[in-house]
Amino acid sequence: MAYKTVVEDNIDVLVVGAGLGGTGAAFEARYWGKDKKIIIAEKANIDRSGAVAQGLYAINCYMGTRFGENNPEDHVRYARNDLMGMVREDLLFDMARHVDSTVHQFEEWGLPLMKDPETGAYLREGKWQIMIHGESYKPIVAEAAKKSADKVYNRVCVTHLLLDESRENRIAGAVGFNVRTGDYHVFKSKTVIVGAGGASNIFKPRSVGEGAGRVWYAPWSSGSAYALLINAGAKMTQMENRIVLARFKDGYGPVGAYFLHLKTYTQNGEGEEYESKWYDHTKAIVGEYIDHHPTPTCLRNHAFIHEVNAGRGPIHMVTMEAFQDPHLEEVGWENFLGMTVGQAVLWAATDVDPKYENPELTTSEPYVMGSHATGCGAWCSGPEDISPPEYFWGYNRMMTIDGLFGAGDAVGGTPHAFSSGSFTEGRLSAKAACKYIDDGKGEGIVISEKQINTLREVVYKPMEHYKTFRNEITAGSVNPNYINPRQGLDRLQKLMDEYGGGVTVSYMTNENLLNIGLKKLKIMEEDLEKVAAEDLHELMRAWELKHRHRTSECVLQHTLFRKETRWPGYYYRGDAMKLDDENWHVLTVSRRDPKTGEYTLEKAPCYHLVSENE
C-alpha cells in the first residue's frame, strides 16, 4: 500500500474518540496542562459524531444541588437501585458531585436549557432529568474541545493502542488510519483517554434489511471503547450487564419524557395495566428487589416481555389523554425531532398521530454500553478521597494499564452518567492524566519501529487480502477465501442473538449455549483474519467488526462467569434463574491476556456508601 505514515510525536494527552466523554477530556486538559500537547483522534467529524450526533432533548443527569434538589449520594442510591446493587459507588459519587458544574457551563456556552418560570430552576423532566433544546449539543461541546486541543484529526479510525516497550503495562499512544486519505497515523503519547463509545449492532437488531440501521444506539457505535482496551490487556468490569430498552416500536424513540413529563403510561393489548400482575413472578426470581422504588428498569422490562409472551401484546403507550393538551403534544413531537428524528418519520409514514391513537412499544435487542441504565466498561481507579484500596491505584479514572484513562461508556460500573456525566468523567480523566504527566510517570517511553510496522501491516491486511483474492472469482460477493464486513456482521449478530440471549430467544441463555457461542466466536476470529475490504470505507467497517467481535467475546465470558440471573429483563441465565446475593453480590472483573487470548475472571468486592432506603 502506498499510503503515507504520519507520526505525531511527543503528545501529552491523546483523546481517542471525541463524543461527550472525549470532548470533556480535551476541553479540561488544557486547564491543567497549559503547555501540554493535546491531540484528538476521531473516527468521524467531531461536530456531529457519536451518540449525540442528532442532538438530545434532555440532560439526564443533573443533581440541582444548587437549587436544593438532590445530593450526590441520592444519585448513587438511585443508580445502585436501578442496577440491582451492582455499581461502583465511588465513581458514581465522584461524577455526581461534579456534574452540575458541567451543566451550568453548558448553559453559559449557549445550550438552551429550559427553565421553570416559577422557581427559575431548570425545568425538570424527572428527578434527574432536565429539558433542553439540544439540537446543537454536539457542535457546542465540539467547539469547547477544539478550542483546547492543539490539533483535531477527524476521520481517523483508531485500531490499536500502543504499549511502552521499556516498562511493562504502560501506555504509549495509539495507531489508526485516515478513512479519507488512507494514511497510517501513529500517535506517540504519554497518556491516552479513551472515549470511543459503546456498542450497537452486536446482537441481531429487530429490524433487518434496509432498516438495519434503525438501532437504538447509533450504528457507528462500534464498541471501540471496549475492544481497544481488551486487546491491550486492560481489566474490564460488568461486561455481562448489557441493556435492553423499552421504546416506541420500530423508531426506538425515547420514552423518558413521555413517562416523566407527559405522564403517559403503558397498558397491554387488552387495555389493562399489566406490571403488577407479574409481581409474584418477579419476586420469585429477585426477592425483595422488586419492592424497591423506583422499580428497576430491567424488572419493568421483565414484566413487559412476559406479558407479550403470554399472548397479551402489543404493549401500548397511552398518549391520547396527554396529547389533548397542545403544549404537551408539542413537547412530545419536539422530543423526537431533537434526538430521534426517525421516530417522527415513522409516525408520519404510518399515519400514527398519538393524539388519536396509542402507539406501540417494544423491547429492543441488547446493547453494550456504560452510561445509560447499564455499567459495562473498564475497571478504573477511583478518586483518592473516596475509594477503598481495592478501587484505588493512584489516578482517578485510570485503568489497569498505566497512563490509560477513560470517560463515558468506556468506564465500567458507572451507569446513569448519560451525556452530562460522560462529559464530566472526561474532565476528571483529563485532570488526572495531567497530574500523571506532571508526576513524571510518562517519561522514557519507547516505541520500536517494529511495533509500528507490524501494526501497519495488520491495519491494512483486509485490503491486501481483498486484492489477493478478488480476481479469483468473476464478480459478486461470494468468495471461498474471504468474507466482507457486512457478512461478518450478520454472522456475529446471529450468533450473539441465539447464544448470548438476544430478542429471538426472549433474552434467554445458559452455560451450554454460552460455551457454544464462545467456540463459534473463536472460529470467527480465524475468519476475521480473512475479512476483505474493497476500499477505505470497508476497511473502517472491517475494523468496526473486529472491535465488535472482541467486545462480544468479553460479554459472553462475563455472562458465563456470573452464574445467576441478576437483571431479569436484560437477560436470563436459564440454568441459574435466580438472583443470588449470597454468591454474586460482587462486581465481575476480567482480563484477556493479549499474548494467549485467554481470559481470567474474578470477583471484586462491591462497596456501598449509601443504604438502600433513604
Partner 1 sequence: MPTFVYMTRCDGCGMCVDICPSDIMHIDKTTRRAYNIEPNMCWECYSCVKACPHQAIDVRGYADFAPLGHSVRVIREEEKGTIAWRIKFRNGTEKNFLSPITTKPWGRDIPKLADEPEPSQEMRDSQLLFNEPKYIRMDDGDLHTLESNGLKMKEGVYY
Q: 574 touches which of partner 1, ligand FAD, none (CB within 5 to 8 A by kind)? A: none
* Residue pair 193/406 in contact by the 8 Å Cβ criterion: yes
Q: Which does 197 bind (CB under 5 to 8 A by kind): partner 1, ligand FAD, none?
A: ligand FAD
Residue 266 interacting entry, from partner 1, ligand FAD, none, C-beta within 5 to 8 Å by type: none
Residue 557, binding choice from partner 1, ligand FAD, none, Cβ under 5 to 8 Å by partner class: none
When binding is defined by CB under 8 A, the residue of 70, 81, 148, 224 that contacts partner 1 is: 148
Number of residues in contact with partner 1 under rule CB under 8 A: 98
Q: Are 89 and 609 in contact (CB under 8 A)?
A: yes
Q: Choose among ligand FAD, partner 1, none what residue 420 binds, the Cβ cut-off being 5 to 8 Å by kind.
A: ligand FAD
Name the helix (H) or strand (E) containing 250.
none
Angle between helices 449-470 and 536-561 (to 10 degrees): 110
How far is the first Cα of the chain from the last one, in angstroms, to the nearest whole number? Answer: 62
- Strand, helix or coil for residue 547: helix
Among 211, 294, 394, 597, binds partner 1 (CB under 8 A): 211
The interface mask with partner 1, positions 156-195, x = CB under 8 A, is -----------------------x----------------
Alpha helices (H) along 130-253: 137-148, 224-232
- Contacting residue, 350, 481, 515, 600, with partner 1 by CB under 8 A: 350
Please select the residue that binds partner 1; options are 210, 280, 449, 598, rule is CB under 8 A: 210
- With beta carbons less than 8 A apart as the criterion, state whether 215 and 201 touch: yes
Q: Does 110 interact with partner 1 (rule: CB under 8 A)?
A: yes
Sign of CA dihedral 146, 152, 158, 164: negative
314 binds, among ligand FAD, partner 1, none (CB under 5 to 8 A by kind): none
Rounded Cα distance, 131 and 240, in Å: 31
Measured in degrees and rounded to the nearest 5, phi and psi for residue 359 equal -70, 155
Which CB, 124 or 155, lies closer to partner 1? 155
If we measure between CA atoms, which residue out of 407, 391, 403, 392 comes closest to residue 435? 403
| Site for partner 1 contains 140 (CB under 8 A) | yes
**What are 186's strand-pairing partners?**
7, 175
Of the two residues 300 and 441, which places its CB atom closer to ligand FAD in the complex? Answer: 300
**Residue from 73, 183, 527, 534 that binds partner 1 (CB under 8 A)?**
73
Q: Does 143 bind partner 1 (CB under 8 A)?
A: yes
Smallest distance, partner 1 to C-beta of residue 230, A:
24
569 binds, options ligand FAD, partner 1, none, Cβ within 5 to 8 A by partner type: none
Is residue 554 within 8 Å of residue 590, measured between CB atoms?
Answer: yes
327 touches, from ligand FAD, partner 1, none (C-beta below 5 to 8 Å by class): none
* Buried b or exposed e, range 508-546, using 16+ CB within 10 angstroms: ebbeebbeebbebbeebeeebebbbbeebebbbbbbbbb
* Cα(498)–Cα(500) distance, integer angstroms: 6
Assess 611 for contact with partner 1 (CB under 8 A): yes
Residues 568-587 within binding reach of partner 1 (CB under 8 A): 581-582, 585
Nearer to ligand FAD, 151 or 281 (CB): 151
Residue 20 contact among ligand FAD, partner 1, none, beta carbon within 5 to 8 Å by kind: ligand FAD
Q: How far is the CB of 466 from partner 1 (least distance, A)?
A: 17
User: In angstroms, what CA-CA distances link 270 with 266, 267, 352?
Assistant: 11, 8, 19
45 binds partner 1 (CB under 8 A): yes
Pick the closest to residue 281 from 251, 307, 311, 256 (CA basis): 307
**Residue whose C-alpha cell reads 443504604 in the numeric block:** 611
User: Which residues make up the interface to ligand FAD (CB under 6 A)?
Assistant: 16-22, 41-44, 49-52, 56, 58-61, 157-158, 176, 195-197, 216-218, 220-222, 224, 254, 339-340, 371-372, 408-409, 418-420, 422
Q: Out of 37, 214, 306, 566, which residue is the one contacting partner 1 (CB under 8 A)?
A: 214
